[in-house]
Amino acid sequence: MSAALPNVLVVAGARPNFIKVAPIMAELERRAMPSYLLHTGQHYSAEMSQLIFRDLGMREPDRNLAAGSGSHARQTAGVMQAFEPVLLEVRPRWVVVVGDVNSTLACALVAAKLREEVACGIAHVEAGLRSFDWRMPEEVNRVLTDRLSDLLLTPSREAHANLAREGIEDARVVFAGNVMIDTLYRQLDAARALGVARKAGVDQPYVAVTLHRPSNVDSAETLRPILEGLTEVARHTRIVFPMHPRTRERVEALGLESAIAPFTVLPPLGYLEMLSLTDGASAVLTDSGGLQEETTVLGVPCVTLREQTERPSTVSEGTNRLTRWPPTPEGIMESYRSAMAAGRQPLGARAPEGWDGATARRIVDALVERA
Ligand code: UD1
């Protein structure tokens, strides 16, 4: 390996990845370690990609594979085919993959097959999370990425138990903490200065809602009772709903436009705007994993609109609760009431261990120690 070539190749594909990668890139740059930022292009719309990069102050990617949307097989295979020659050219010591999106697994799989030839290791940030629901594409991505990785960097202690149960040796596992929270602490003041709700014409207390999981939005059978439950909630408070492109498409295809009429619907928001909206909310109702974590640290009550969560510490130690499943308007109302009764907690008061803003440092320490 030539000393002039980049040492750590960091993969980012979809919106939640960018938020996890930003502090790692900043830490690599702070230590003047050679790095190569690879964007797979899984997310490509301005508001899903470029605006997030801008908000996070990240440099332009060194390469964009422009993989785009498609079925799981098409998208995963597209990333794999495009990544293989890049890996052979860059020859990093580490391939760092984060989270659980299709790009994460695709790049881990390519690197695993070239591990000997390139002499690289695979490091997985956010290892060990499990929903135990194999119907979720993310669960497949998580389990397989962990199996393929040489260094498993976990965000919480329960992740270690999950990995041990699967027979993954302890020596490959390092507790790192939650890297998303590094970004949150770094950006909170800037987000607070934005006043996004006020700018959207919302002056009263509000609940922020996001939905994008295929299991929630793809069929009317689930989407309809969720929207009915939210309509009930909207009788008590304003609902502000930044809408993911997948959800927008499904609402239109299923003819549910009238069901979203009571809500203040916004386009997908940049990172800072979303953090501003979350921080200003009385409660958040969501199926996003990242929001379950961010609300916990912010102290904002959260209702998770899913059957289970791969982030149980947000329930046991944080401000999160799962709604009854399958979703019903009554169940969603009951969860909303419980969230409102819990009320806001001070910033960081209920944060699990290692959700402290210093995770990127621990991640890069581990990369250096095991290089
Ligand atoms: C992906 C991740 C999911 C993550 C989510 C965050 C997988 C399997 N899923 O789901 O874990 O929580 O990102 O957003 O990797 N689209 C656009 N512009 C974009 C990207 C997508 O309009 O920039 C639309 C397209 O119609 C596309 C659809 O959204 O078909 C879904 O995009 P995709 O990346 O396949 O999955 P997400 O639902 O975003």
84-121 pLDDT per residue, tens: 999 999 999 999 999 999 999 999 999 999 999 999 99
Interaxial angle between packed helices 15-30 and 179-192, expressed in degrees from 0 to 180 and rounded to the nearest 10:
100
Query: Does residue 236 carry a catalytic annotation?
Result: no
| Mean pLDDT, rounded, of the chain | 96
Is residue 4's pLDDT more than 60?
Answer: no
Instruction: Identify which of 21, 98, 101 to mutate to test ligand 1's pocket (most ligand atoms within 8 A of the CB).
Output: 101
246 Cα to the center of ligand 1, angstroms: 7
Asked whether the beta carbons of 28 and 9 are under 8 A apart, the reply is no
The band of 122, judged by pLDDT with boundaries at 50, 70 and 90, is very high
| pLDDT for 142 | 98
The band of 3, judged by pLDDT with boundaries at 50, 70 and 90, is very low
| pLDDT for 107 | 99
The two three-digit tokens of residue 6, written as one number = 């980049």
Q: Is the pTM of this model over 0.85?
A: yes
243 Cα to the center of ligand 1, angstroms: 12
333-349 pLDDT per residue, tens: 999 999 999 999 999 99
Residue found under tokens 């969501």: 286
The one-character DSSP state at 260 is G
Instruction: Identify which of 18, 44, 102, 246 to mutate to test ligand 1's pocket (most ligand atoms within 8 A of the CB).
Output: 246
The one-character DSSP state at 195 is -
The band of 2, judged by pLDDT with boundaries at 50, 70 and 90, is very low
| pLDDT for 90 | 96
Is residue 6's pLDDT more than 60?
Answer: no
163-205 pLDDT per residue, tens: 999 999 999 999 999 999 999 999 999 999 999 999 999 999 9
Asked whether the beta carbons of 213 and 16 are under 8 A apart, the reply is no
Q: Which atom of ligand 1 lies closest to the CA of 102?
A: 15
| pLDDT for 331 | 98
Write down the catalytic residue from 43, 124, 212, 244.
212
1 Cα to the center of ligand 1, angstroms: 36
Asked whether the beta carbons of 1 and 27 are under 8 A apart, the reply is no
